[in-house]
Amino acid sequence: MLWLQALLFGLVPFCASKPLLPRWDDFQVKHAWVEMPRGWELHGPAPADYRFNLRIGLKQARIEELIAALYEVSDPAHDRYGQHLSKDEVDVLVAPHSDSADLVESWLTAHDIDTNAYHRSGGGDWLTVEVSVSEAERMLGTQYNVYRHSGSDDYVVRALNYSLPSILHEHVAVVAPTTYFGTIKSMKKTSFLQPHIPTIESDTDIASLLINPGSLATVPSSCSTTITPSCLRALYNTTSYTPTATAVNKLGICGYLEEFANFADLQTFFERFRTDAVGSNFTVVLVNGGENSQSEPGVEANLDIQYADGMSFPTPNIYFSTGGSPPFIPDDNTPTNTNEPYLDFLNFILAQSDVPQTFTTSYGDDEQTVPLDYATSVCNMFAQLGARGVSIMFSSGDDGVGAGDCLSNDGTNTQRFQPNFPASCPFVTTVGATFRVPEEGISFSGGGFSNYFAQPSYQSTAVSAFLTKLGTTNAGLFNVSGRAYPDVSAQGEGFQVVIGGRVESVAGTSASSPTFAGVVALLNDFRLANGNAPLGFLNPLLYSTGAAGLNDITSGSNPGCDTNGFSAGTGWDPITGLGTPDFGKLQALIG
């Protein structure tokens, strides 16, 4: 036995110098759906040789430091307020640990992926590689199929689950496309036509009545039915302010759903509703194959650009048209770009050194249809923008506390309120809707509590006060410890929008978000014109000193899920948030 002990002892240094190679077939589930996402149906197996772009999100080694920095530079009570990070500084904080990068590269090499052929993001936290379906299935221990969305007739290549080798789980945050089924066409826009509401061809008469725009008493009663820029400028006290920092200040509008804002319609809108802006226009940036055909103008796109521009003129507006070819055309194996709406836009904009100081987006998904790993990665990308000094507005949704039967998709079919994403992300400012003059919360205004994201400290006091007053109402239907939204609100009904040369009445929180973003763009102009930094991430300001610059809305409710939903009241509520903006008061508070 002595010879055996000697042999084993002799092998120790050899074993120590030759660590075991990772096992790439030791799979552990990363995400799996209990049931097929609603609205989708199986079309058939994906062709093994179909090629697409696979995005691998590596875990960011210092993401907690980035989020801490975001809160510090966004808190008006902190010494670092306004000291936003540069792109390079953000890239350093989101970079993966070298061990993560090396291990993922070894994994790709083991699957014969050319390490020189893939694209790395600026921080190195995202890798994009082109693979075939058969390669992706081997790498992720899954099966890709073709699924059809019944509402849009859109086809996608997705999986109902995916796995990673066990050793990669602490190094990889998300892989896409896998189990997130959302596409450009299947995303929920948050606007709708209102043919029952009369339209007006001009508001010159209304504009002439606004003798004292700082007083709500001067807002004509017609603004309770039909909304124009003059109504909004009077309601939100912006009429007397003229932007001057137009060489540096910009407002970005995110466009999806293959809709394009129309130049000619904007001119007609200006001729009828903002005559001093006639002749000005917006610029277009195409992202991931986005289009700008100027044909068949979209309701959503025209609403967004006309009211963002109508509120912020002469601040330059940029329409980001995010598109891309359909992710899969049955029986067509031509390589095409992967269609991941949020990732397409965010990877693009984070790579830019110069970005608009304000953004508005009027689209979203039911939170439960977005895998948690995907939602978390996207939300952290919004945090990166916020840390760089960008204010990000999202519409809260048009389903109140939830649409349809509101059943959970975790296999239990439990009835619960259905929050929206990205509205539920704690690093964006979510905008609900009001109507009438004086303002009330409108029934469709999306609001509630996230089931994914914890309640951030900046809103804990305001939300606790609401929950105390709520008592046991709706108990068990929502997550009391979740991120609560909306944060603020603005008018959302009867907007006069020019579509194809004709005026239509449009409603939705899609109207509210660009309206509020327009006010924020004016505030950023004021800051920049006075040599200060832009506002950046708004919520820590809004829930503290900024609350005094908002009009508290105390009536209205947002029913859904066979309930009366929530009711508005004094202070924050999940219909109107903290309220609607008063530019003059906010201007004084941030000066």
What 3-state class would DSSP assign to 339?
Answer: coil
Q: Are residues 155 and 300 in the same domain?
A: no
What is the model's pLDDT at position 257?
A: 62
Q: What angle do CA 441, 443, 444 make, to 5 degrees?
A: 110
Nearest-angstrom CA–CA distance, 370 and 379? 12
What is the model's pLDDT at position 186?
A: 61
Select the more confidently predicted residue: 81 or 298. Answer: 81
In-domain check, residue 382:
yes
Nearest-angstrom CA–CA distance, 291 and 189? 18
pLDDT category of residue 116 using cuts at 50, 70 and 90: confident
pLDDT category of residue 296 using cuts at 50, 70 and 90: confident
Q: Are residues 156 and 228 in the same domain?
A: no
pLDDT category of residue 297 using cuts at 50, 70 and 90: confident
Pick from 139, 174, 146: nearest CA to 160: 146
The CATH number covering residue 275 comes to: 3.40.50.200
CA dihedral 66, 67, 71, 72 (to 10 degrees): -30
In-domain check, residue 14:
no
Residues 492-514, mean pLDDT to the nearest whole number: 96
In-domain check, residue 2:
no
Segment of 154-158, 257-261, 305-309 carrying the highest mean pLDDT: 305-309
Q: In angstroms, what CA-CA distances link 210 with 48, 308, 332?
A: 65, 21, 59
Nearest-angstrom CA–CA distance, 129 and 118? 5
Distinct helix (H) and strand (E) counts, the chain: 15, 27
Residues 497-508, mean pLDDT to the nearest whole number: 95
Q: Which residue ranges make up the annotated binding site for Ca(2+)? A: 552-553, 571, 573
In-domain check, residue 351:
yes
Q: Is the distance from CB of 496 to CB of 288 less than 8 angstroms?
A: no
Residue 301 backbone zone (phi > 0: left; psi -120 to 50: alpha; other: beta): alpha
Global pTM reads 0.93
Q: Among 19-23, 146-150, 286-290, 366-370, which is the least confidently predicted range?
A: 19-23
pLDDT category of residue 260 using cuts at 50, 70 and 90: confident
Q: Are residues 152 and 204 in the same domain?
A: no
Across the chain, what does the average pLDDT equal?
90
Q: Are residues 144 and 273 in the same domain?
A: no
Residues 49-69, mean pLDDT to the nearest whole number: 95
Q: Are residues 220 and 165 in the same domain?
A: no
Computed on alpha carbons and rounded to an integer, the radius of gyration of the chain in Å comes to: 25
Give me the number of domains the chain comprises.
Answer: 2
Q: Are residues 254 and 124 in the same domain?
A: no
Residues 349-354, mean pLDDT to the nearest whole number: 96
pLDDT exceeds 60 at position 14: no
pLDDT category of residue 338 using cuts at 50, 70 and 90: very low
Neighbours of 214 (CB within 10 A): 16
What is the model's pLDDT at position 38?
A: 86
pLDDT category of residue 22 using cuts at 50, 70 and 90: confident
pLDDT exceeds 90 at position 496: yes
Please identify every residue annotated as catalytic. Answer: 300, 304, 510
Domain of residue 511: give its range.
198-326+342-590
pLDDT exceeds 80 at position 16: no
Select the more confidently predicted residue: 6 or 92. Answer: 92
Segment of 2-11, 17-26, 207-216 carrying the highest mean pLDDT: 17-26
What is the model's pLDDT at position 13?
A: 46
Residues shown for the chain: 591
Q: Among 12-16, 494-498, 558-562, which is the least confidently predicted range?
A: 12-16
Q: Are residues 242 and 169 in the same domain?
A: no
Q: Are residues 157 and 218 in the same domain?
A: no
Q: Among 257-261, 325-329, 402-406, which is the least confidently predicted range?
A: 325-329
pLDDT exceeds 80 at position 570: yes
What is the model's pLDDT at position 216?
A: 53
Residues 151-165, mean pLDDT to the nearest whole number: 90
